[in-house]
Chain A
């Protein structure tokens, strides 16, 4: 019987494990992918400081080793069963049944599948990519070109793809795509100073530390053009460029524009596994399948089920900054929960 089992080896899970260890509590991480680090392993750089994402992942890997925390990779949780004595049995894709006093759900998020927003032509036109694809290109390619090999004279970013969009069923704001769009636009301008970059947005929500400054810099220093209006549709021209139709709502006129590449700033959704975990340990969810904490202000790491905790983006879209803070506070909540048991 282990004290804590953490479901998910992204930064939320890793940070929870590390903090718990410094508190003297042993934990075990179950990760469904073949390595730890979660979505961060796919990212190139992090806003607002532009630090390398790999560097942060490596820091965590070192910490995990230093604290000798056990991690099971390639392990997918299938079901959780609460025992009569209040402990948990966790069934996974492995044959072992894990037993723990408490569970921390750090299942993270999944990226909105842009194919569902068919009018933008993702997976239909090669030069329509997502912000996640662009990060991958930044990380792996030396020279930036459109997937079809075109040189990039013009690039358009479309904000709020899969967020704040009733038509795809997501009402909530993913919060991070705005600043991601700004970050990526700046990066393109830095890599290709001749390229024109246009960002189509509804609102820009620069809520975080240093975000507003980045937005200002993008306009003043890097000459990124921000157009307020949603893009209605994208079509491919015979020359292989992309034609997009939109409305410039500040100028109150329709816009038709040809670009070489379109980047869709895809939102964050609750991962499918949330509903599986929810059914087996009776946790409350909101309409978007994110886990609802017991008290959003006072105890945001505690779920409605006793002994089940939640860490990171399982509750809502959060930045790396917020995720790490939340993971620490959850670790504290777990140790407070376990203390009386250990004192007995």
Chain B
């Protein structure tokens, strides 16, 4: 067994991290609900595990999602993660292949070059590979250093403040690979056992007469930086590295965020790498709100200094969620925090009458409160339903009750459930097989919270799309140029992107803009944040409108009454719902 005292810092650090991670992971999994634990058991020997491995490969190592946002940022993450991973893997292969020693201690592969001085062809090939990999990682370290100076180059404006543990971890991470290079080069200077890079630097060391004490100092520092990094990792932001892998696996086994803050929520919190992409995605900076973006919230949860203001100050538009490279469920996470923080108001709703629908219909139309505030949408949808001779029941025509989602978004889960149960009973009593709504906010909660069984739930744009494809509705093309604004709850929230676009391609010309579909901007009217002032909202709306009106459309078309009302504040470009456009072209 090869040994020198300098391996101790690394070895101690390595065992500490194994123990700490072991304890943490066990505790997290232990605290999951019984069903979630069963999910892991049942999923383990299925294809889900392979899928999780593939995702961990793509995201934890290659960081493909970050590449999509900014190639330089992607390369930085990839070279550090994937490069280091390869160094570990190839390093082990090298050691097993060259020494045949299968019972080696962990430090023996890490400090292989210090102990193994042979210079055969096989050794040389491995040494060249290892040098190349080391250079790849050093490239990443270089970019990381450059990022500290010029963040904008990586498409990032700001990032989180570092705590002491983060700083220790960061500096030791920066030190690890340069020190490895120096240490291996120093040894290579004596024995020429390195590759193309280390041998040459070693040559330089020989020229300046580096002695074996100097060599040992390099190995010591290398080992200390490794050990320090391992010891502080679980207590720094780098905890995201192991946690993300766990998160990917649990997610793949079908574990989802519940409406309560549990250990799976905590795993998500710890999986955040603080890349800062969500800061850029957030529109709140137009309202001069710059400390509430998801990365700050996650950090605040970890540091236990989260305030109510921070929890509620968010539009819940979901732009950060679609861009998050770790696929964290940021909206749901924030809603669970709101539920935890919510106070009980006197929301008895005992004035609600027991629903008793005597009317029955296969198709039930639920307009939603916001649609009632923009009656032209309702009359357009009714015109379409009547023209296609669809027998329908307008279920919230007179005594409509809110769908419950605005309360849910505010964290008022108990109150929301009362409304949900009320509406649910009324809808089920109607005997409906298809439920059509004009409001994406209702639509999302119908799909997610109502448990309506086999009932088809459609937004009116989907229903119109159906009518057009089965030729029950005929429309003619106009010369109008449209811009389609994806409502958050319909687009990112419910993945309905193509149906409205298909309809508009039939009624006129649809122009495109940069931020659409998943990247669509929020109108600023969101019910997700009730603490925003109207001026703050107006600033957000203004910025969104600037982008929407850029291609000079004749009309801004949307599919959400709230977006429509929000945009209607400006007088320059008319704003219409997609149903109104269809009626115009009938």
Residues of A within 8 A of B (CB): 113, 116, 118-119, 121, 124-125, 166-169, 232-236, 243
Contact = CB atoms under 8 A, between A and B. Distances in A.
A233 B372 contact: yes
A236 B376 CA distance: 12
Q: Tell me which of B372, B374, B375, B538 has the highest count of chain A C-beta atoms within 10 A of its own C-beta.
A: B375
Nearest to A125: B375
Interface string B368-397: 000011111001000000000000000001
Nearest to B397: A235
B569 A235 contact: no
A124 B376 contact: yes
A234 B379 CA distance: 13
**Chain A contact residues, majority secondary structure:** mixed
A124 B379 contact: yes
Closest 5 CB pairs of A and B: A119-B373, A166-B534, A118-B374, A169-B569, A233-B372
A231 B313 CA distance: 28
B568 interface: yes
Contact of A118 (B397, B538, B568): B568
A119 B373 CA distance: 4
A119 B374 contact: yes
Contact count band on B: 10 to 19
Given A167-B534, A167-B569, A168-B569, A118 B398 contact: no
Nearest to A245: B372
A169 B538 contact: yes
Given A167-B534, A243-B398, A232 B373 contact: yes
25 contacts: A116-B568, A116-B569, A116-B571, A118-B374, A118-B568, A119-B372, A119-B373, A119-B374, A119-B375, A124-B375, A124-B376, A125-B375, A167-B534, A167-B565, A167-B569, A168-B569, A233-B372, A233-B373, A234-B375, A235-B372, A235-B375, A235-B397, A235-B398, A236-B375, A243-B398
Given A118-B375, A118-B565, 17 more contacts: A116-B569, A116-B571, A118-B568, A119-B373, A124-B375, A124-B376, A124-B379, A125-B375, A167-B569, A168-B569, A169-B569, A233-B372, A233-B373, A234-B375, A235-B375, A235-B397, A235-B398
A156 to B, nearest CB: 16
A243 B398 CA distance: 9
B569 A121 contact: no
Interface string B560-586: 000001001101000000000000000
Nearest to B537: A166
Contacts of B397: 235
A119 B562 CA distance: 12
B287 to A, nearest CB: 15
Interface in B478-497: none
Interface of B: 372-376, 379, 397-398, 534, 538, 565, 568-569, 571
Contacts of A236: 375
B372 A118 contact: no
Contacts of B534: 166-167
A38 B571 CA distance: 23
Nearest to A120: B375
A20 to B, nearest CB: 35
A4 to B, nearest CB: 32
A121 B375 contact: yes
A113 to B, nearest CB: 8
A233 B92 CA distance: 72
Contacts of B375: 118-119, 121, 124-125, 233-236
Contacts of A125: 375
Contacts of A168: 569
A168 B568 CA distance: 8
Contacts of B398: 235, 243
Nearest to A234: B375
A212 B373 CA distance: 33
Contacts of A169: 538, 569
B251 to A, nearest CB: 40
Contacts of A243: 398
Nearest to A166: B534
A124 B569 CA distance: 18
Nearest to A254: B351
A259 B5 CA distance: 93
Nearest to A253: B351
B376 A118 contact: yes
A167 B373 CA distance: 12
Contacts of B374: 118-119
Nearest to B534: A166
A266 to B, nearest CB: 15
A209 to B, nearest CB: 34
Contacts of B373: 118-119, 232-233
A234 B374 CA distance: 10
Contacts of A166: 534
A187 to B, nearest CB: 28
Contacts of A121: 375
A234 B398 CA distance: 11
Contacts of B571: 113, 116
Contacts of A119: 372-375
Contacts of A232: 373
A119 B369 CA distance: 10
A74 to B, nearest CB: 25
